[in-house]
């Protein structure tokens, strides 16, 4: 098992570029099944979650290859509508093959998804919505089996603007008969990106970026080339790294508008941030200020995927901060790891954390509990005195192409090790 070693106390300075978006790549890769042909996906991040999605495509009979940073997918031949249980258990985003295979094959057999252990993330919204589209569904021993003679457009009202459910409905509706309307749809950039990709392939959609999305079914899609947006969470992570370690850095290929909520929070902690069309300059010289109350919200609110990183930042702020996690439960697992480094964090319940900033964190051996918590522990190592070893670092590779490379570009003393604490 891999680990990352960080020697803290180094102020960050330099430039680095942001990779293509993980959260946009995964649904688009699933959506490629809807076209019986070729998709060229440019600026695709070479991360473990993308490789897992590629493995599923290949199990289904599709072909995929890399041309530099472009992923070329050929879905002309789909031999199976069954996604192996071992593949699905590796990552939660594999549930997006539910909508894609229903749309392509009118049937699917898929297990409940796995992935990061950040609490319950039920797929009831996905299943209830698919049922309403003339799809029969039964569950047996953790396997979901769906079948239909034709997918029928309908009106779907989501109780919560679930990103995954919104995407699965869109995937199922693109080749359906009639019109599907989604009320209280998720507005996240990754939903917008899926719509943009599908429009490029010939789908008919209205309302992307709003809480009401309308999909008019078409008979077929066609080949398409699509360039993925930069990763807003990777950009936020590296901004948080500069905030925690101090210094002065420039990040290129930043989706600035998508990162506004994170930028505003970091500015209130005392960071100076200058934005351009595609870059961010961030500096922090004085001790960080606390943030009275930070709540995670659906987009355009503060993203849950940045909550762990901000917990690290606030752990060394000059005062008391409170974080309320309103999207997922059990997403404070990194609090225990931060305490090993001297952080003062009180969990009132699984949704609320009170952080009293300490003057310094101290290097320690810690663990990446999930993807974003792992990145947060790397950030803690940058801000700490001495050496920090982050074990189970392979989890971080699910979402970051090369976090050591990117932070190394900013002068961080950081490197991978082959074995835990090795």
304 domain residue, yes or no? yes
SS3 114: coil
Bridge partner list, 374: none
237 and 220, same domain (yes or no): no
Crossing angle for the helix pair 48-60 and 22-31, to the nearest 10 degrees: 10
Of 134-148, 249-263, 338-352, least confident by mean pLDDT is 134-148
Domain termination residue (choose one: 206, 227, 248): 227
The structure tokens listed for 285 are 């010289």
Q: What is the DSSP string of 126-156?
A: HHHHHHTTT-EEEEETTEEEEE-SS-B--EE
Domain termination residue (choose one: 190, 209, 227): 227
168 and 312, same domain (yes or no): no
**Rounded distance between C-alpha atoms, residue 41 and residue 47, angstroms:** 14
Q: Is the pLDDT of residue 109 over 90?
A: yes
323 domain residue, yes or no? yes
Q: Is the pLDDT of residue 368 over 90?
A: yes
238 domain residue, yes or no? yes
Q: Taking the alpha carbons of 302, 258, 373, 51 in that order, is the dihedral positive or negative?
A: positive
Q: Is the pLDDT of residue 121 over 70?
A: no
Residue 140: pLDDT band by 50, 70, 90 thresholds? confident
DSSP H or E stretch at residue 13? strand 12-17
Domain termination residue (choose one: 164, 197, 227): 227
- The CATH number of whichever domain residue 321 belongs to comes to 3.65.10.10
Q: What percent of the chain has pLDDT over 70?
A: 97
Of 269-283, 308-322, 323-337, least confident by mean pLDDT is 323-337
C-alpha distances out from residue 270 to 35, 221, 312, Å:
48, 49, 15
First to last CA, the chain: 10
47 and 14, same domain (yes or no): no
422 domain residue, yes or no? no
Q: Which residue in 44, 116, 271, 404 is the catalytic one? A: 116
248 and 187, same domain (yes or no): no
195 and 276, same domain (yes or no): no
The structure tokens listed for 336 are 């225990």
**Rounded distance between C-alpha atoms, residue 321 and residue 319, angstroms:** 7
Tens-digit pLDDT profile for residues 204-233: 999 999 999 999 999 999 999 999 999 999
Other CB atoms within 10 A of residue 257 CB: 12
**Rounded distance between C-alpha atoms, residue 250 and residue 242, angstroms:** 10
C-alpha distances out from residue 232 to 51, 209, 244, 375, 399, Å:
20, 16, 18, 14, 12
SS3 70: strand
Residue 419: pLDDT band by 50, 70, 90 thresholds? low
Contact status, residue 147 vs residue 133, Cβ threshold 8 Å: no
13 and 30, same domain (yes or no): no
Residues whose CB falls within 8 Å of the CB of residue 298, separated by 6 or more in sequence, listed in order:
161, 186, 187, 188, 327
Burial class (CB in 10 A: 0-12, 13-18, 19+), 305: buried
**Rounded distance between C-alpha atoms, residue 344 and residue 143, angstroms:** 43
154 and 280, same domain (yes or no): no
Q: Is the pLDDT of residue 70 over 50?
A: yes
Q: Taking the alpha carbons of 268, 273, 277, 278 in that order, is the dihedral positive or negative?
A: negative
Domain tally, the chain: 2
Q: Is the pLDDT of residue 119 over 70?
A: no
Residues whose CB falls within 8 Å of the CB of residue 141, separated by 6 or more in sequence, listed in order:
none
258 and 138, same domain (yes or no): no
DSSP summary character for residue 125: H
368 domain residue, yes or no? yes
251 domain residue, yes or no? yes
Q: Is 116 considered catalytic here?
A: yes
205 and 334, same domain (yes or no): no
- The residue among 315, 311, 313 whose CA lies nearest residue 331 is 311
206 and 88, same domain (yes or no): yes
Which domain, by its residues, includes 95? 22-227
400 domain residue, yes or no? yes
99 and 206, same domain (yes or no): yes
Task: State the average pLDDT for the chain.
Answer: 95
221 and 273, same domain (yes or no): no
């Amino acid at each position: 098992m891999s680990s990352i070693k960080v020697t803290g106390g180094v102020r960050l300075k330099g430039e680095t570029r942001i990779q293509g978006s993980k959260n946009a790549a995964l649904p688009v890769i699933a959506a490629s099944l809807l076209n019986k042909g070729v998709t060229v996906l440019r600026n695709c991040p070479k991360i473990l979650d993308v490789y897992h999605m590629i493995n599923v495509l290949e199990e289904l009979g599709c072909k995929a290859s890399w041309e530099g940073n472009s992923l070329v997918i050929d879905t002309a031949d789909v031999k199976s509508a069954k996604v192996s249980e071992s593949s699905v258990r590796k990552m939660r985003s594999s549930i997006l093959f539910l909508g894609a295979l229903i749309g392509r094959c009118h049937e699917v057999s898929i297990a409940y998804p796995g992935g990061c252990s950040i609490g319950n993330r039920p797929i009831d919204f996905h299943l209830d919505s698919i049922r309403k589209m003339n799809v029969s569904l039964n569950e047996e021993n953790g396997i979901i089996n769906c079948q239909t003679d034709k997918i029928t457009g309908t009106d779907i009202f989501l109780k919560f603007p679930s990103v995954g459910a919104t995407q699965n409905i869109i995937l199922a509706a693109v080749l359906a008969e009639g019109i599907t309307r989604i009320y209280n749809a998720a507005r996240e950039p990754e939903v917008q990106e899926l719509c943009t990709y599908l429009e490029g392939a010939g789908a008919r959609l209205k309302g992307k970026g709003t809480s009401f999305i309308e999909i008019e079914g078409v008979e077929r899609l066609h080949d398409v080339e699509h360039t993925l947006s930069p990763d807003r969470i990777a950009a936020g992570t590296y901004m948080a790294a500069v905030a925690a370690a101090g210094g002065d850095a420039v990040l290129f290929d930043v989706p600035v508008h998508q990162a506004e909520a994170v930028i505003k929070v970091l500015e209130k902690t005392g960071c100076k941030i200058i934005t351009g069309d595609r870059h961010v300059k961030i500096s922090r010289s004085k001790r960080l200020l606390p943030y009275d109350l930070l709540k995670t919200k659906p987009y355009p609110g503060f993203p849950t995927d940045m909550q762990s990183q901000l917990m690290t930042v606030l752990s060394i702020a000059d005062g008391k901060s409170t974080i309320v996690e309103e999207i997922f439960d059990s997403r404070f697992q990194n609090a225990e790891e931060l305490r090993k480094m001297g952080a003062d964090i009180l969990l009132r319940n699984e949704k609320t954390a009170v952080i009293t900033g300490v003057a310094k964190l101290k290097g320690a051996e810690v663990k990446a509990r999930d993807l974003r918590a792992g990145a947060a522990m790397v950030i803690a190592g940058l801000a700490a005195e001495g050496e920090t070893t982050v074990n189970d670092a392979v989890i971080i590779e699910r979402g970051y192409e090369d976090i050591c490379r990117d932070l190394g570009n900013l002068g961080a003393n950081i490197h991978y090790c082959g074995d835990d604490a090795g």
